[in-house]
Amino acid sequence: MTQFPAVRFRDAVDVVITGLSAGLTALSVNVSISDKLPEDHTQDDSFVTVRRDGGPSMWPVWDKPQINVASYAPTAAAAADLARDVRTVINQFPGLGTIASCPVSRVDELSGPAFQPDPTSDQPRYVQSFVITLRGYDPADDD
C-alpha cells in the first residue's frame, strides 16, 4: 500500500478574504470584508461577508471549498456594483498563483450574483457562490 504524506489545508475563508481585500483595494473599492456581519453596521454601510458552505477535498492534496459571498450596500444598485467587483476579483484568483501562502488553481462559479435582501434588516444584498480549488501543504512546514 502506498503511503502518502499528511496534508493540511489552509482556512479557505481567510484565503478568500485576503484575496478579496487586495483585489478590491486595487479597484479602489474600500469595504469591510469579514466572515460575519459587522456588529455595528447600519443600512448605510457597504460590506462583504464570506463563508464556507462545505465542499470536498480531492485526495490527496486539493481542497475544493464552496464559498458563499454576500455583498451588502445601501441601495440595490450599489450592492449589485459591489457584487460585480467581487465576482471580477474572485475569478482572477487562479492568475495570482498564490494567496496568503496558498496556491489557488481554479475557480468555478456555482451561482452568479443573485439579489436576496437580508432577511433580518431587508438591506440590499447580492449573494453568489464559487468553488475555489486550493492546494494543501505539508504540516511539517508549520514548524
Domains of the chain: which residue ranges?
Answer: 12-135
- Cβ–Cβ under 8 Å, residues 48 and 123: no
CA distances from 25 to 20, 44, 51 (A): 8, 20, 20
Length of the chain counted residue by residue: 143
Beta strand pairing call for 47-52 and 32-34: parallel
> Which residues have a Cβ under 8 Å from the Cβ of 126 and sit 6 or more positions away?
70, 71, 79, 80, 82, 83, 113, 114, 115, 116
Q: CATH code for 12-135?
A: 3.30.2000.30
What is the model's pTM? 0.92
What is the residue type of 21?
Answer: S
Give the containing element (helix H, strand E) for 86.
helix 76-91
- SS3 assignment, position 124: coil
Confidence at residue 17, expressed as pLDDT on a 0 to 100 scale: 98
* Residue ranges in the chain whose pLDDT is less than 70: 1-4, 143
Block residue for cell numbers 458552505:
53
Confidence at residue 6, expressed as pLDDT on a 0 to 100 scale: 80
Output the nine-digit C-alpha cell for 123.
438591506
Confidence at residue 1, expressed as pLDDT on a 0 to 100 scale: 61
Confidence at residue 107, expressed as pLDDT on a 0 to 100 scale: 97
